[in-house]
Amino acid sequence: MLLDFNSMQEITCPGMNDGTGTMSSRMYADAENRMVYCRIHPGSSIGMHTHNGSADINYVISGHGKAICNGEEEELTPGTCHYCRNGQNHSIINDGDEDLVIFTVVPKSVEV
């Protein structure tokens, strides 16, 4: 299955999860996964939130920022991947002067 994020409608979200500023995203979701091409604009953030029932995998395409995951700060640069496990909390912050572009996968947790 091919997903073309270039042809998907982009939506802009102010204050995602009580964060600051805005982000723009294009998303695909089905019963098993959610995939998001996301641009967190300069000075903006996704607020602190807990993942219950899913993990959150964030691959950095471009820009710079930081993630705070369970109180630990992580630097985000192109080519890095921030992983927030099921049950953990995190926030993503763009502290740079260009968009922080990430590709996020939110897989549905499976009981083992």
Mean pLDDT of 87-105: 96
What's the mean per-residue pLDDT of the chain?
94
State the pLDDT at residue 84.
95
Per-residue pLDDT for 9 more than 70?
yes
Domains of the chain in sequence order: 10-107 (2.60.120.10)
Q: Cα–Cα distance between 45 and 1 in angstroms, integer? A: 31
pTM for the structure as a whole: 0.91
Q: Cα–Cα distance between 24 and 59 in angstroms, integer? A: 16
Q: Cα–Cα distance between 96 and 64 in angstroms, integer? A: 6
State the pLDDT at residue 112.
44
To the nearest whole percent, how much of the chain has pLDDT over 90?
A: 89
Q: Is 90 exposed, middle or buried (0-12, 13-18, 19+ CB in 10 A)?
A: buried
Of 59, 53, 40, nearest in space to 104 by CA: 59
Per-residue pLDDT for 90 more than 70?
yes
Note the pLDDT tens digit of each residue in 40-83.
Answer: 999 999 999 999 889 999 999 999 999 999 999 999 999 999 99
Cβ atoms within 10 Å of 30's Cβ, excluding its own:
9
